[in-house]
Amino acid sequence: MEYAILILLALILLVLIKILTKPNSSVSLENYGYLYDARTKNLENNTEAIVYAISELNDSIKELNSSVDDIRHVTNIIEKYRLPSKLEQKKLDDIAVDMEVWDGINKNA
């Protein structure tokens, strides 16, 4: 059984060698070198494109963070100086009336 597997592997190896050394083969050793160089060049180009895309995304994220900080700053100012709602305004008016009544009571006392 082991010899049969070894013989089969040897035959496969011989067939591969025959195919790779065939002069007019599209997968000859000369073509293999060219294909390897072309694939390496494509990989380098793809890597450069990916690095460029990541750099662009990084810049976009920085711009978004800056915009979010600006929006947060404006929102904080709006919250700090916003006009009161109707309910809040009524409470403030009631407090002002109570203060006037209290001041009037203290002056008469």
Q: Which residue has the tokens 């109707």?
A: 86
Q: How many CA atoms within 13 Å lie on the side-chain side of 7?
A: 4
Spans of all domains in the chain: 29-99
The predicted model gives 17-37 an average pLDDT of 62
pLDDT tens digit sequence for 54-75: 888 988 899 998 999 999 999 8
Angle between helices 2-21 and 29-80 (to 10 degrees): 90
Task: Give this prediction's pTM.
Answer: 0.41
